[in-house]
Structure 1
Amino acid sequence: MQFKDIVGQHAVKHRLINSVVENRVSHAQLFLGPEGSGSLALAVAYAQYLCCEDKQPNDSCGVCPACRKYQKLMHPDLHFSYPFFAKDKNDTALTFIEQWRDALTNQPYLSLDAWRGYLDAENKQANINIAECHQIIKKLSLKPFESQYKVLILWLPEYLDKEGNALLKIIEEPQPNTLFLLVAQNQDQILNTILSRTQLIKIPALSYADIEQYLVDEQNQPKNTAAEVAYLSNGNMAEALAMLQHDAKGYHNLFVQWLRICYGNKGIEVVSFVDRLAKIGRENQKNFLRYGISFVRECCLLLAGADDLVHLPAQELETARKMVLVNEKGRQVMDINAAQAVINELEKAHYHVERNANPKILFLDVSLQIIKFIFFKTIPAGTHYIPN
């Protein structure tokens, strides 16, 4: 994997390349970034650049023997560790290495949910067990086989329980030219004993423009679809690509139609609409609710007068302005209190959809709550906005 294959993150790429050029390569580094930011892909590209036999000013060459092996994730000095769903106490990451290579090759912006899909996970919990810790120590006690560096990329060290303390000595005093690249999403869940021994590299979420451009250029998506998916993904490329596998179109029209039915308190139409939502599938229901949350938050920005912070496509922006505008009768579809109450209900609904709640019951209940907020103007206690 090369840096050029990774969307955005130009400042991080520049820093990583400079660390090699200036011979300031730390033996233990923590790539900390949210899901879908490309942190795992950056770690692999960095390792490839370190081992490239013909380094270019801004990237690995991509054609030398080391690069070709890295691109297949089969270099003898490249090792991976990651959470897995053990069937036996002696299972290690090597047990699932073929599935791992397949998953990471197909999806450099791999998420744990996507990784679960490559394994027979059933209801097991992902973790990195003590057998895997012992396997890491064994592998890294040997000298590099071909390249200058032996590299271990440990994805999601958050899943190391107290067994992770077994790695402390080899992290602190590794063999010469041995590198630990930890790729994490939540710093608070990493063992402090491990965290204190690493150099932190923060990786920000991808920008709206970077994701939109990638979807247009590389995924051949229409600009309108790319804009909507980029907006929904909230900087998460893994989420954006997952949406493309489902029906990512029409969430705006669908959500606005729902609000109009609720604003009109049209009981029969509410029931009919709920039946429609119940049939679109769990992933589309989650994306629909996610869009609704994002859209109403943009409405809050308009209500607060922060128009320059709104990132809505033209059609959605026009609709949002109409919703927050006070009409000639002195009414508006949504004020700041109603917007906050709606967001709270949508977030709770998203939580319950993820946990397989009955969609008809769930969406009917949410619809009735929204009718209370925007038709009857009844806002729950504790939701009211109090200006300074």
Structure 2
Amino acid sequence: MQFKEIIGHHDIKEHLLQTVKDNRVSHAQLFLGPEGSGSLALAVAYAQYINCENKQLNDSCGTCSSCRKYQKLIHPDLHFSYPFFANGEKDVATSYLEEWRKAFLENPYMGLDHWRHQLDAGNKQANINIAEAHDIIKKLSLKAFEAEYKVLIMWLPEYLNTQGNALLKLIEEPPAKTLFLLVAENQDKILNTIISRTQLVKIFKLPHHDVAQYLIQEKSIPTERANEIAFIADGNIQTALNLIAEESNEYFNLLISWLRFIVTDSGLNFIRVCEEDFPKLGRENQKNFLFYAVNMLRQIVLMQQGLQNLVLLQGQELDFVKKFSEIFQLEQLEVAIELLEKTHYKVERNANPKILFLDLSLQLVLLFKYQTFPQGAQYI
């Protein structure tokens, strides 16, 4: 993986390159960025540049022996750790190394759900177990085979739990020329004892135009459709890739009819939508719909605040945003966004969609129709 293959993040790339040029490579770094932002790809490209035998000004050469092995993820001094769905207590990450290589090379922006599908793991819980922690210690105690640096890239250290304590001494005082690159999405779920031993590299979500350009140039998606997908994906390349296969954006029509039933308090109609339409979408499309709804409400907020130049919509969607922005208060929209985000969180955890969306609908009826703001409400 070379930096030039990764979408956007020009400032981050420049920072990483400069640490190598200035010989200021921290032995433990935390790449923190949202799903689909490219943080994992950046970590791999950084490791490849560090061990490149013929470094260029702005990237690894891509042709030396080290780079060729890195491109296939087969370099003997490059190690990976990641959540998996263990079939036994002795399972470690290398048990799934071939699947990991295939998944990353096909999609370096992958999220945990995509990885789960590669392993046909169903609803099994992901984790990084104590056997994996011990295996990491064993691997990194060995001398480097051929590279200057041994590198361990750990994807989603949030799944370490207390097993991470076994790695603290190694992270704080690693063998010479050993590099830890932790790639995380949620800092709050990482052990504080690990965070305190790493240098933070903050990675932000990709802007709309970078995602759209990627879809147009790399996936040959028509401009209008690319902009539509980029809007829904909200900086998440994994979500954008999930949406590519869809023939058209049906979320808008579903959102319009659902909200119409809500603001008119048409109970039988929104119950029907919750019992029939939402369950048909399936879990991934339910999550995408909620992303879309959240983004639409955020566009309405921008319109209300006089920031029309930041509204990324056109056609029917733009007309909807203009009309909606004249009807509801900012406080209502902020609460609605929070409710949608809570629902998205529960969908990720396999909550019953009929109950979940009916509860959401009832909350929105109170909010939009009767202007009742929930105080400390308990959400499903």
* Greater Cα radius of gyration, structure 1 or 2: 1
Paired positions, count? 375
Which residue number in structure 2 is paired with residue 322 of structure 1?
323
TM-superposed deviation, 1:43: 0.7
- Relative to structure 2, which stretch is displaced further, 208-217 or 186-195? 186-195
**One-letter code aligned to 1:108:** P
Identify the residue that residue 35 of structure 1 maps to in structure 2. 35
Partner of 2:113: 113
- 2:337: which partner in 1? 343
Post-superposition offset of 1:97: 0.7
Q: What amino acid is aligned across from residue 344 of structure 2 in structure 1? A: H
2:223 matched residue in structure 1: 223
Letter of the 1:339 partner, please give it: L
Displacement of 1:40 after TM fit?
0.7
- Residue of 361, 366, 379 corresponding to 2:372: 379
Distance 1:114 1:14 in 2: 29
The structural deviation recorded for 1:78 is 0.7
User: Secondary structure, in 3 states, of the residue corresponding to 1:183?
Assistant: strand
Shift in CA distance, 180/316, structure 1 to aligned 2, threshold 3 Å: same
Residue 19 of structure 2 corresponds to residue 19 of structure 1:
yes
Task: Give the direction of change, closer, same or farther, for the CA distance of 1:126–1:357 in structure 2 (3 Å limit).
Answer: closer
Report the CA distance between 1:67 and its aligned residue.
Answer: 1.3
Q: Shift in Å at residue 372 of structure 1? A: 5.2
Flag the 1:251–1:79 CA change in 2: closer, same or farther, 3 A.
same
Shift of 1:237: 1.7
Distance in 2 (alpha carbons) for counterparts of 1:110 and 1:240: 11
Q: 1:105: Cα distance to partner?
A: 0.9
Residues 92-241 of structure 1 mapped to structure 2, 5 A cutoff: 92-241=92-241
Q: 1:258 is aligned with what amino acid?
A: W
1:90 counterpart residue number? 90
| Counterpart for residue 284 of structure 2 | 283
Greater alpha carbon shift after TM alignment, 133-142 vs 303-312 = 303-312
- Rounded to whole Å, the distance in 2 between the matches of 1:72 and 1:87 is 27
Q: Secondary structure at the match of 2:211?
A: helix
Residues 373 and 3 (structure 1 numbering): CA distance in 2 closer, same or farther, change over 3 Å? Answer: same
CA contact (8 A) 2:239 2:288 kept: no
Give, in whole Å, the separation in 2 of the partners of 1:108 and 1:41: 6
Residues 156-177 of structure 1 deviation map (CA, whole Å, 9 limit, x = unaligned):
2222222322222322332222
AA at the equivalent of 1:220 = S
8 Å contact from structure 1 (residues 229, 248) kept in 2 = no
The residue matched to 2:31 in structure 1 has which SS? Answer: strand
Cα distance in 2, alignment partners of residues 200 and 284 from structure 1: 33
Stretches of structure 1 that go unaligned for 5 or more consecutive residues are 326-331, 384-388
CA root-mean-square deviation? 2.7
Q: Report the counterpart of residue 249 of structure 1 in structure 2.
A: 249
Is the deviation greater in 63-72 or in 186-195? Answer: 186-195
How far apart, in 2, do the equivalents of 1:193 and 1:360 lie? Answer: 41
* Distance in structure 1 (CA, Å) of the matches to 2:160 and 2:273: 45
The 1:147–1:337 alpha-carbon spacing in structure 2 relative to 1, beyond 3 Å, is closer
TM-score with structure 2 setting the length: 0.88
CA distance in 2, matches of 1:164, 1:357: 29
TM-score by length of 1: 0.86
* Cα distance change of structure 1 residues 381 and 283 upon mapping to structure 2, 3 Å threshold: closer
Question: Match of 1:17, SS?
Answer: helix
1: CA distance, partners of 2:352 / 2:287: 13
* Kept after mapping to 2: 8 A contact 1:337/1:379: no
Structure 2 residue matching 1:152: 3-state secondary structure: strand
CA contact (8 A) 2:36 2:239 kept: yes
Going from structure 1 to structure 2, the CA distance change for 1:311 and 1:177 (only over 3 Å counts) comes to same
Q: What SS class does the counterpart of residue 29 from structure 2 fall into?
A: strand
The letter for the 2-side match of 1:350 is: H
> Helix, strand or coil: the match of 1:256?
helix
